[in-house]
Structure 1
Amino acid sequence: MVYGYWQSQCLYIATNLGIPNLLQSESMTVEAIAKATSTKVETLYVLLRALAHLGVFVEKPGRVFAATELSQLLITNAGPSVGHFLMHITEPSMWDAWRELGDSLKTGEVAFERAHGKKFYEFFMTENPDSRNLFNNAMSFLTNQAIDSLFEVYDFGQFDTVMDVGGNQGALIAYIVKKFGCKGILFDLPHEVETAPDYLSKQGLDENQVKVIGGNALEEIPKGADAIVMKYFLSVFSSQDTIKVLTGCKKALPKEGKVILLQTLVPPRGAPVEYPDGTIPALAAVQMMVTNPGGYWRTEQEYKELFETSGFQLEKVIYTGTSLTVMEFSTLS
């Protein structure tokens, strides 16, 4: 654990330089890699050798480096990948926020806001386009890796129209509409859905299949769907604001409407703390706290209580075999 940040920073630098992309089809000497990345040969060699010892690359005779299964995961020029998620989590702005965690525990400030003087989404979504691109691709990657397991256990085809609240550029709703043939609505903050029409078009979907709406879930959620899906969205809100969002969901849904919460749950005491995919929810909860006021990952019971306060009842809990759990709620009469 003490050495953890050494590894993640080496990974970030190599991925940010595009070295996994360079090595995906052929081996290269360190001199050739240095030339392609505008870095110094000898210092780059020390970094690449360390990553080779970690199994990220392979070092061959003559200071030649080649790809591995791990480095293939970090390729960023062929769609959303672990590489995008890695760079989002470990980019300098995130490191700066974590540096403020100790003081924020004493002051009550959000560590990210303390470090940057701006809210997380304001910083990433409106002022730093490179960071915004990383975030969008990181979220799409998380959806892509979980979707097959999700669709094996939950049937969205029971609904006529599904609305993804907090759906970013639309990866999840695109999958749902294409798989089950229902209509879709994508709802998120206006600057979050700016790239959605282009993204959805690339997925072969038009505005008649997925309607894109910009707005604020804390103020009002549009009507028109018989089911609302939220993936990780409630993690960013305090309990008070979560109730505001859920109250808005109830107003937007018909009497028989459902809310499908897709969430990684913090295990109760005595349960395994790590999911099979390596996710440790209690640690991820700290990340949410670092970046969002009042935001953190919750237990199943905590979500159940928040939904009940907002006028919903828990119908079923379905475990997907990954760190993503399905909680289905119906409106109380």
Structure 2
Amino acid sequence: MSTPLPTNMASASLGTLATGFWASRAIYVAAKIGVVDLLARGPRSVDFLAETIECDKDALYRLLRALSTTGLFIDRSNGVFELTELGQILGSDVEGSMRNYVMMLGRPESWRAWEHLEQSIMTGVPAFQHEYQMPLFQYLAAHPPIARVFDEGMRSRGVADDDAIAKAYDFSAFNRIIDVGGGAGRLLSTILKSTPRARGVLFDLPHVVEGSRNSIVELGTGQRIECVGGDFFAAIPAAGDLYLLKQVIHDWSDEQAAEILGNCRSAMNKASKLLIFEVILAPESAYPKMLDLMMLVWTGGRERTEEEYEQLLTGAGLKLTRIVPTGTAISVLEVARSDAV
């Protein structure tokens, strides 16, 4: 019996999925050349935009016309385009801007890694490592300008999550909060602003925390945060009431994640808490499953189910006490030592 031919609707749907990278690349270019920032000032003609950007007018028109089908722009049909509410968050100077995240995803390092997805599927080795002959974080340490793009992209993507976390969880009981792998310190700063009596420790690789000192000053928490350089695979600062791990565990294999969690356990006292901020895989979840594939491509890490986190924690001498939703894709996993009362 022959297989029935797909319907026109099914073919169109598959075509949309298969050409998705066209849209992502077009979004990257629109943000990079500055057209989004120009339209943030109000509707503009293609003539004006092309003259200001110094690009080909017809090509720019075709770019904006195509992106108007994605909901980023409104095509006024007279050569004038306008930003939508969705398009506004691609601007450089707006609260919650996603521009730096888009810039990060559009980097050659990202695109070239995805070209080797098949290699990852066949071998289990991160595609990034196949292309660049070293793990992602080692590559970033060796290429500071690219590391800055990566850090800015992660910061851009995480702003909404940080604010939601600070509102969803009560941090008022803690005096010394240690952010493990805390990057630029925005999450820690956001928490400290809502917890006036607490002080913080920003712990990350030496070159990362060195670059974060200006950031925490700009965020207004420079006097309340101690920056400590180190390696969470070696040891983690002790004597914290609360430890934070925001999207750290998903970067690593189960073996490496267990090592990080074990070092957290060693640093914690019986009363300490550990908060893990991660996306949790569930049967109905779409975005976490695609994010998990990106972890395979970039770092060799993975997204995990609640059960998988419980297994990791148990093996490290820890226990999951509760999960707090934040209203975003990120959940708060509250963790204590397994011997805690």
State the match for 2:302 in structure 1: 296
Deviation at 1:87, TM superposition (A): 2.2
Q: Secondary structure at the match of 2:190?
A: helix
Flag the 1:142–1:43 CA change in 2: closer, same or farther, 3 A.
Answer: closer
TM-score scaled by length of structure 1: 0.91
User: 1:69 & 1:46 partners in 2: Cα distance?
Assistant: 21
Q: Residues 235-270 of structure 1: CA distance to partner in whole angstroms, max 9, x if unpaired?
A: 111111111111111111122111111111011xxx
User: 2:253 & 2:304 partners in 1: Cα distance?
Assistant: 11
CA contact (8 A) 2:166 2:190 kept: no
CA contact (8 A) 2:99 2:156 kept: no
Flag the 1:122–1:28 CA change in 2: closer, same or farther, 3 A.
Answer: farther
State the match for 2:292 in structure 1: 285
Flag the 1:16–1:118 CA change in 2: closer, same or farther, 3 A.
Answer: farther
Note the residue ranges of structure 1 that are not aligned, 5 or more in a row: 275-279
User: 2:330 & 2:92 partners in 1: Cα distance?
Assistant: 24
Matched, 1:316 2:314: no
CA contact (8 A) 2:161 2:330 kept: yes
Q: Residues 4-43 of structure 1: CA distance to partner in whole angstroms, max 9, x if unpaired?
A: 1111111011011121111101322223222333322221
User: 1:152 & 1:77 partners in 2: Cα distance?
Assistant: 24
State the match for 2:13 in structure 1: none
Deviation at 1:116, TM superposition (A): 2.2
State the match for 1:260 in structure 2: 275
Deviation at 1:169, TM superposition (A): 0.5
Matched, 1:43 2:59: yes
User: 1:188 & 1:38 partners in 2: Cα distance?
Assistant: 42
State the match for 2:235 in structure 1: 220
Deviation at 1:289, TM superposition (A): 0.9
State the match for 1:140 in structure 2: 155
User: 2:186 & 2:314 partners in 1: Cα distance?
Assistant: 29
* Residue of structure 2 aligned with 1:236, choices 225, 243, 251: 251
State the match for 2:221 in structure 1: 205
State the match for 2:75 in structure 1: 59
Q: Secondary structure at the match of 1:159?
A: coil
Note the residue ranges of structure 2 that are not aligned, 5 or more in a row: 1-16
Q: Secondary structure at the match of 2:87?
A: helix
1:249 partner amino acid: C
Q: Residues 160-201 of structure 1: CA distance to partner in whole angstroms, max 9, x if unpaired?
A: 111111111001000011111211111111222232110110
State the match for 1:180 in structure 2: 195
User: 1:73 & 1:319 partners in 2: Cα distance?
Assistant: 24
Q: Secondary structure at the match of 1:156?
A: coil
* Overall identity of the aligned pairs, in %: 29
Moved more, 50-59 or 253-262: 50-59
CA contact (8 A) 1:126 1:191 kept: no
Q: Secondary structure at the match of 1:162?
A: strand
* Residue of structure 2 aligned with 1:75, choices 73, 86, 91: 91
State the match for 1:277 in structure 2: none
Matched, 1:330 2:323: no
- Aligned pair count reads 322
Moved more, 14-23 or 110-119: 110-119
Flag the 1:319–1:246 CA change in 2: closer, same or farther, 3 A.
Answer: same
1:272 partner amino acid: E
Q: Secondary structure at the match of 1:204?
A: coil
Matched, 1:88 2:104: yes
User: 2:308 & 2:77 partners in 1: Cα distance?
Assistant: 56
State the match for 1:33 in structure 2: 49
User: 1:81 & 1:139 partners in 2: Cα distance?
Assistant: 12
* Residue of structure 2 aligned with 1:307, choices 313, 323, 330: 313
Q: Secondary structure at the match of 1:157?
A: coil
Flag the 1:80–1:91 CA change in 2: closer, same or farther, 3 A.
Answer: farther
Q: Secondary structure at the match of 1:256?
A: coil
Q: Residues 270-307 of structure 1: CA distance to partner in whole angstroms, max 9, x if unpaired?
A: x4224xxxxx10110010111113x0111111111111
User: 1:55 & 1:78 partners in 2: Cα distance?
Assistant: 18
Moved more, 297-306 or 101-110: 101-110
Flag the 1:120–1:37 CA change in 2: closer, same or farther, 3 A.
Answer: farther
Moved more, 84-93 or 179-188: 84-93
**Aligned-pair RMSD on alpha carbons?**
1.8
Q: Residues 119-157 of structure 1: CA distance to partner in whole angstroms, max 9, x if unpaired?
A: 21233354151x433322332233321234323331111
Matched, 1:102 2:102: no
Matched, 1:12 2:28: yes
2:172 partner amino acid: G
Q: Secondary structure at the match of 1:218?
A: coil
User: 1:55 & 1:206 partners in 2: Cα distance?
Assistant: 40
TM-score scaled by length of structure 2: 0.89
Deviation at 1:204, TM superposition (A): 1.1
